Amino acid sequence: MSRSICLGALSIVVATAGMTNATSARAEDVSACECTSKAAESAADLKFRKIYSDEWDWRQQQFAADEDSGESDIRAKLPDVSAAAQARRLAKWESVTNALDGIDRASLSPANQVNFDVYKAQIAVLVNQQKFKDYERPLNADTSFWGNLAGTARQTFTTESDYRNYIAQLEDIPRYFDQQIANMRAGLARGFTPPKITLRGRDDTVSSVIDIDKPENSIFYKPFEAMPANIPDATKAQLRAAAVAAIRNSVIPAHKKLLAFLRNDYIPGAQPSIAAYDLPDGKAYYRAKIKEFTTLDLTPEQIHRIGLDQVAEIHAEMLQTMKDANFTGSFPEFLNFLRTDPQFYAKTPEELLKDAAWIAKEFDGIAGKWIGHLPRSRFAIKPVPADIAPYYTGGRGGPGIYLVNTYNLPSRPLYSLPALTLHESAPGHAFQMPLAAENKDLPEFRQNSYISAYGEGWALYCEWLGQEMGMYKTPYERFGMLSYQMWRAARLVVDTGIHSMGWSRKRAQQYLHDNTALADHEIETEVDRYIAWPGQALSYYLGEMAIRQDRARAEKALGAKFNIRAFHDAVLQTGSVPLPVLNARIDRFIAEGGVGPYPDEE
């Protein structure tokens, strides 16, 4: 059963920074590998390459590693996040914008015209983040600057240098926290904080670092528990002693200071409103976030209407699936049955993890039928760490990892696990992100950057694709997929409702409760995530719609020549790009007769 996904008249307004309209990139005959031979570079190409290469190298030192960065090197120093450093960043990115304005896009090679569109959109986002001072609220509903640092302790350490850099990083935490607290105080003074309701319990993740009986029990000591055999024993002992001292003298005192600030000042004084419109310059801020996360020029009202229409269409499919399951009650009764019947829930964390692994391996067996060029990297399946699990999503994936949340098992239905696994592991995030990083034909700013509309759109498309791949074995599992589709379509309604239309937290929760099979615990954590992270939730369904619309266009134009493997390779080969750039790539795919970027693998 299919449903309409066309954006209709709204398609005329999709444009990225650096494009005059959505068709400007489509007219370009970009080379199949989307790379440019340096020998053939024009003066404009050389100028552009120097701009993005210099800025990208500089950019790598501006941010701390986070859970989604995929970064593997352990640095000796945390970044400077002071107000003065933030002003320098704004000046830098504005100067890059001016430099890009001095380049005639038409004089670039076809491949660099695409690179230009992607890069200019990246810089526009960075400029807006600095102008709105996003650094003054360095946390959202489930991530934070202190939590990201704890995440470094879960990385793989392989050399003595890694350990020495890590110890230096631990010793740098007091300075780093002081700068973050100063930024948060500035945000607090102007009412630019996450909503107070989303900060409940967030101090627990800080107190857990403090409430230990000895440094060796700290999460920050974890890398020293099992050290590589190639490091001499005497050196191991010295490094462990230095780590204990750094945790005792730097890490714990910095967390105590942060905890006092959170409990005494920040949480009590946080923004009472849940709406982005109530933040300083809130309407412009929310529109900027819509553009950042969707790469589209859509208004909140347009997105809200798309969401309502899609919710209605998906609901009809859910009713049919309920009939397929031979359930004779009402829709609310069916949702209650799914939320409460023990057959749909794992009894132990290990059972949930093993089922996720089984689904991932099942896809492995058919991967080559759907994607021609597969990534070299593999991924592990692990539980979400206990200290963040209560506030974390049901699962999250990326390079090398698929995290499954085993906290509160009655909120983790097994019938939704196939869709979750396709999204977060393969062929979703654990495929898309490594394929971009492994594509050496792309410049680094495309290999290692993540645009939510593309990345989340692809992952959500993978859930939908599971129907064609035969991954849903029962009507309940298909309902789980539809519930996830409904969840993302409902986000278009809920996010815009909260941030621009005066919706209450309770109304948003009730909307998800009435329209999806999500457990109430997950509904609460999800709504708080949307409240604290304006616009991000919009990227998923709008991204999926764009990919499905591109596919439908290609199927219609190519007819019998359409090759699903070639189409998926064309989508994945671009790296993470704004949706109009992806539209242009598929236009070229059609013009070239449906030949993919890796024809020998088709």
For residue 34, the SS3 value is coil
The mean pLDDT value for 132-142 works out to: 91
**Helix ranges (DSSP H) in 262-299:** 267-269, 282-294
- Cα angle: 60, vertex 63, 69; to 5 degrees: 80
Beta bridge partners of 413: 345
d(C-alpha 598, C-alpha 372), whole Å: 7
Answer yes or no: is 556 within a domain.
no
Per cent of the chain over pLDDT 90 is 83
Residue 204 contacts by C-beta under 8 Å, 6 or more apart in sequence?
none
The DSSP-derived string for 192-235 is -S-BGGGGTTTTHHHHHHH--SSGGGSGGGGGGTS--TTS-HHH
Q: According to the model, what pLDDT value does residue 63 have?
A: 87
Which of 339-375 are b and which e, b meaning 16 or more Cβ less than 10 Å from the residue's Cβ? beeeebbbeeeeebbebbbebbeebeeeeeebbbbbb
Q: Which amino acid is at 236?
A: K
Going through 394-534 in order, the beta strands assigned E by DSSP cover 395-398, 401-404
Q: According to the model, what pLDDT value does residue 1 have?
A: 39
d(C-alpha 288, C-alpha 298), whole Å: 10
35 has pLDDT over 60: no
Q: Which amino acid is at 393?
A: T
User: Which tokens in the block code for residue 423?
Assistant: 């999204």
36 has pLDDT over 80: no
Q: According to the model, what pLDDT value does residue 340 have?
A: 94
573 has pLDDT over 50: yes
H-run or E-run covering 149: helix 145-152
User: Which tokens in the block code for residue 324?
Assistant: 């397929």
Q: According to the model, what pLDDT value does residue 599 have?
A: 81
Q: How far is CA 506 from the centre of its chain?
A: 26
User: Which tokens in the block code for residue 159?
Assistant: 């050399």
Answer yes or no: is 270 within a domain.
yes
Beta bridge partners of 398: 401
Name the residue among 463, 510, 503 with its Cα closest to residue 483: 463
The residue with tokens 């403090």 is: 210
Answer yes or no: is 224 within a domain.
yes
pTM: predicted TM-score of the whole model, two decimal places: 0.88
φ/ψ (deg, to 5) at 17: -60, 135
Name the residue among 173, 152, 155 with its Cα closest to residue 247: 173
Name the residue among 532, 524, 527 with its Cα closest to residue 193: 532
62 has pLDDT over 50: yes
Helix, strand, coil share (%) of the chain residues, nearest 5: 65, 5, 30
User: Is the preceding omega at residue 232 within 30 degrees of 0, hence cis?
Assistant: no
148 has pLDDT over 70: yes
pLDDT category at 427 given cuts 50, 70, 90 is: very high
pLDDT category at 155 given cuts 50, 70, 90 is: confident
φ/ψ (deg, to 5) at 29: -95, 85
Name the residue among 536, 19, 13, 14 with its Cα closest to residue 286: 536
142 has pLDDT over 90: no
18 has pLDDT over 60: no
Q: pLDDT (tens digit, 9 = 90+) per residue, 243-258?
A: 999 999 999 999 999 9
Answer yes or no: is 233 within a domain.
yes
Q: According to the model, what pLDDT value does residue 73 have?
A: 74
For residue 382, the SS3 value is strand
Q: pLDDT (tens digit, 9 = 90+) per residue, 396-421?
A: 998 999 999 999 999 999 999 999 99
Answer yes or no: is 263 within a domain.
yes
Contact (CB, 8 A) for 20 and 585: no
The alpha-carbon radius of gyration of the chain (Å, integer) is 24
User: Is the preceding omega at residue 427 within 30 degrees of 0, hence cis?
Assistant: yes
Name the residue among 91, 82, 205, 80 with its Cα closest to residue 139: 205
d(C-alpha 447, C-alpha 60), whole Å: 13
Q: According to the model, what pLDDT value does residue 420 have?
A: 97
d(C-alpha 302, C-alpha 284), whole Å: 16
494 has pLDDT over 80: yes
Distance from the first to the final alpha carbon of the chain: 28
Q: According to the model, what pLDDT value does residue 5 have?
A: 36
pLDDT category at 25 given cuts 50, 70, 90 is: very low
Q: According to the model, what pLDDT value does residue 66 have?
A: 58
Strand 380-383 to 395-398 pairing: unpaired
pLDDT category at 72 given cuts 50, 70, 90 is: low
The DSSP-derived string for 564-596 is HHHHHHHHHHT-S--HHHHHHHHHHHHHTTS--
137 has pLDDT over 90: yes
Name the residue among 522, 203, 535, 537 with its Cα closest to residue 393: 522
> Could you give the angle at which helices 452-469 and 579-591 cross, rounded to 10 degrees?
50
Name the residue among 187, 204, 212 with its Cα closest to residue 258: 204
Residue 543 contacts by C-beta under 8 Å, 6 or more apart in sequence?
294, 452, 453, 454, 455, 456, 457, 458, 460, 461, 579
Q: According to the model, what pLDDT value does residue 213 have?
A: 92
The residue with tokens 């024009």 is: 42
Q: According to the model, what pLDDT value does residue 374 have?
A: 95
Query: How many separate domains does the chain show?
Result: 1
Contact (CB, 8 A) for 304 and 492: yes
Other Cβ atoms less than 10 A from the Cβ of 197: the count is 17
Answer yes or no: is 170 within a domain.
yes
Strand 401-404 to 395-398 pairing: antiparallel
Answer yes or no: is 579 within a domain.
no
Average per-residue pLDDT for the chain: 91
For residue 36, the SS3 value is coil
Q: pLDDT (tens digit, 9 = 90+) per residue, 258-291?
A: 999 999 999 999 999 999 999 999 999 999 999 9
pLDDT category at 533 given cuts 50, 70, 90 is: very high
Name the residue among 450, 451, 464 with its Cα closest to residue 539: 451
Q: According to the model, what pLDDT value does residue 2 have?
A: 39
Answer yes or no: is 214 within a domain.
yes
The mean pLDDT value for 206-233 works out to: 95
**Helix ranges (DSSP H) in 271-348:** 282-294, 300-324, 331-340
The mean pLDDT value for 75-93 works out to: 96
85 has pLDDT over 70: yes
H-run or E-run covering 489: helix 475-500
Range of the domain at 183: 145-278
Q: In what order do the strands lie in the sheet with 401-404?
A: 380-383, 401-404, 395-398
